[in-house]
Amino acid sequence: MPTVETVRGPIDSADLGATLMHEHVFVLSTEHVQNYGTGGWWDEEERVRDAVEKLDELKSLGIDTIVDPTVWGLGRYIPRVQRVAEQTEINIIVASGLYTYDEVPHQYEHRGPGLLLDLPTDPMVDDFTRDIRDGIADTGVKAAFLKCVVEAKGLTPGVERTLRACSATHRATGAPITVHTSSHNQAGLLALQVFRDEGVDLTKVVIGHAGDSNDLDYLSELAEAGCLLGMDRFGLDIYNPTANRVDTIVALAERGYADRMVLAHDASCYIDYFPGPDAQAAKEQIAPNWHYRHISQDVLPMLRERGVPEEQIRQMLVDTPRRYFE
């Protein structure tokens, strides 16, 4: 029986159920908080309680699992997520990897093959592998997938090194990969180029934020390569409105790619890009649908109304996520 690691430990992959493939629990600028404080807007107990409430609500809407790609660069802190996971029924899957649009952290800068401190392997690979095989820090929680980024700057040396480190870890452990991409420069194709070169199993790759694009040729090229398309920013209308995202899913399903799309919001219980009550209120005004409930309450009914069959919705929510982790 294939199992998948979650925050509460391994579960049968058949029990993943309806899965949102890219949601954060918390996004927090840890180093900023440590040095500047929060002026009171971060209350640990309140934030944990609030997260449990939001995830319970999501569970009541029929979602069984969220996949959380919060890694270094976004404030990954597993003990806090453990506290949430202990109090909610929903499964939370966590990641290893690195979130950078450009350079690697200085911690990695000088160490590795061919660098100032010439090491036999990239220390990034050692760290990522440890997260997957032994667990993250001393929490006992194992990462089940890898996260990296190709943004508007494209394959900078740091970004390329990160993708190659994720690829090497994927080859050694079998862990699948989710790559955040920017759509306007078709960064998915840049990621694809590196993953191909590294011998990555492309059926184990989610091209994250592919759903920001409505370019059917670009998206079909990624799907033809075997990749999964992350239709994963529902509610972020500033990047692509819901109606267009739905149109694109319908069109891709008609082209035969229903088994290569996964769904999510890229939402969070709390994201400190908008710290404090005023910024949070502004966020809700700018992106009123950017929350965990939008897909269940609005998007799935829209897809059904557009004639997307139940079987295809099941593929996007249940079967494809399961296949990705098996």
In the complex, which residues of this chain contact Zn ion (CB under 5 A)?
266
Closer residue to Zn ion in complex, CB, 127/266: 266
Which is nearer to Zn ion, 160 or 266 (by Cβ)?
A: 266
Shortest distance, position 230 Cβ to Zn ion, whole Å: 9
Nearest residue (CB) to Zn ion, 131 versus 266: 266
Dist CA 272 CA 114 (whole Å): 37
Residue 19's contacts (CB-CB under 8 Å, 6 or more residues apart) are 63, 64, 65, 66, 67, 262, 317, 318, 321, 322
Q: CA dihedral in degrees (223, 227, 228, 234; nearest 10)? A: -70
Closest approach, Cβ 305 to Zn ion, in A, equals 28
Smallest separation, CB 101 to Zn ion (Å) = 13
Q: Which is nearer to Zn ion, 74 or 308 (CB)?
A: 74
Min dist. Cβ of residue 165 to Zn ion (A): 19
Contact 66, 268 (CB under 8 A): no
CB 39 to Zn ion: min, Å: 25
Q: How far is CA 56 from CA 22, 83, 194, 301, in A?
A: 17, 14, 39, 21
Query: How do strand 228-231 and strand 261-263 relate by DSSP bridges?
Result: parallel
Instruction: Give the residue closest to Zn ion by C-beta.
Output: 266
Pairing of strands 9-12, 3-6: antiparallel
Of 151 and 266, which CB lies nearer to Zn ion in the complex structure?
266
E strand or H helix that includes residue 135: none
Residue 155 to residue 166: CA distance in whole angstroms: 14
Closer residue to Zn ion, CB minimum distance, 69 or 112: 69
Q: Using the minimum distance from each CB to Zn ion, give the nearer residue, 112 or 211.
A: 211
From residue 217, alpha-carbon distances to 213, 248, 255 in Å are 10, 11, 11
Instruction: Output the smallest distance, CB 152 to Zn ion, in A.
Output: 16
- Smallest distance from Zn ion to CB 147, Å: 8
